[in-house]
Amino acid sequence: MGVELNIRLFVVSALLCVLTLSFVGASLAQPVVSGVKGGMVFDYYISSYWSSSDFYYSVPADLVVANQTVCIEIRIGVVNATDVETSTIAYYTDGTTDFERGNINLYTGIGSGFVGVIGANLNVGDRVHPDGEDTLTILDTTMRNYESGVRATNHVRILDDNPTDGGYRATRDLYFDKATGILVEQVDQVETTVAPITTTRFTWKIVSVVNVDGWEIPGFTLPDFSTIAKQDSWVASNFYLIICISLLLVTMVIILVIYKKKNR
């Protein structure tokens, strides 16, 4: 995973690591061209959903982390004929951040950290990683509307259906901007078919694009973390005061109820 990280960022970034597979050869049968360049910046909003037929089941820790994340920022570093270097910054609701360096080989899919980059201008049926162990191909190409115009998007799907051993069905839909090869949306869904029945959904969605010619998604700004920190600090420093006031109010309500009963 690159540099040492807080477990929160590991949970967030590990969800993309299904694209990172073993190297099997060096026969460059299908040319791959990088569409990203150094200096490009992409921000993602992540969200999660979870339900269970068992009321006592707890929400998985990785989904809790997702809902505590303001955004994930991906900065493109050095790019050459085969590899892309990235920097990942995770911003959390408590005002803290995590940082990680990563890289991805466009031919093999081998990498670390953020690996949501594939070759540019791939067509339907093309292999995502020509020299990788996976057999992922472009399933279809659709158009997406942005403020700066319409752009083609390549779709990749990964399925894992196991009705017997544990009883689950997992689906991962990945959408990549065709011209740059950068991930624009990822939707993971896991459904268990053996009690307790659970449904888990995790989503990445691009919300900001900077320094990409002809493509812009403006308007995403981080919250004022200093204000959040001050609010959290005030709550922490006045915790016992808040508890005392709450207990006082509860006591007053109880006394009032008793008084009314005695005067009936």
Alpha helices in the chain (DSSP H): 7-14, 61-66, 225-237, 239-262
Scanning the structure block, which residue is given the tokens 């008793």?
A: 258
Q: What are the pLDDT digits (tens) for 195-205? A: 888 898 989 99
Among 242, 186, 182, 192, residue whose Cα is nearest residue 217: 182
Report yes or no: 211 and 39 within 8 Å, Cβ to Cβ: yes
- pLDDT (0 to 100) of residue 61: 80
The token pair that represents 210 in the structure block: 């900077």
d(CA 251, CA 146) in angstroms, rounded, equals 56
Instruction: Give the end-to-end CA distance of the chain in Å, rounded to a whole number.
Output: 70
Q: What are the pLDDT digits (tens) for 136-170? A: 999 999 999 887 888 999 999 998 887 766 688 88
d(CA 79, CA 38) in angstroms, rounded, equals 6
- pLDDT (0 to 100) of residue 88: 95
Among 24, 17, 1, 13, residue whose Cα is nearest residue 135: 24
- pLDDT (0 to 100) of residue 196: 83
d(CA 203, CA 72) in angstroms, rounded, equals 12
d(CA 170, CA 191) in angstroms, rounded, equals 6
Scanning the structure block, which residue is given the tokens 């990172």?
A: 20
Q: Radius of gyration over alpha carbons of the chain, in Å?
A: 24
Q: Which residues pair with 209 in a beta bridge?
A: 42, 217
Cα-Cα-Cα-Cα dihedral sign, residues 250, 256, 262, 264: negative
Report yes or no: 82 and 105 within 8 Å, Cβ to Cβ: yes
Give, as one character, the DSSP assignment of residue 214. Answer: T
Report yes or no: 129 and 136 within 8 Å, Cβ to Cβ: yes
- pLDDT (0 to 100) of residue 33: 94
Among 160, 162, 170, 166, residue whose Cα is nearest residue 195: 166
Q: How many angstroms from the chain centroid is the CA of residue 102?
A: 15
The 10 Å Cβ neighbour count of residue 2 is 18
Instruction: Locate the DSSP E strands across the chain.
Output: 41-52, 69-79, 83-92, 97-105, 111-112, 140-146, 149-162, 168-177, 183-192, 198-212, 215-217
pLDDT in single tens digits along all 264 residues of the chain:
222 333 344 344 444 544 443 333 334 457 899 999 999 999 999 988 888 888 777 887 877 888 888 999 999 999 999 999 999 999 999 899 999 999 999 999 999 999 999 999 999 999 999 999 888 999 999 999 887 888 999 999 998 887 766 688 889 999 999 999 999 999 999 888 888 888 989 899 999 999 999 898 875 565 554 554 444 444 445 545 555 555 555 555 555 545 555 555
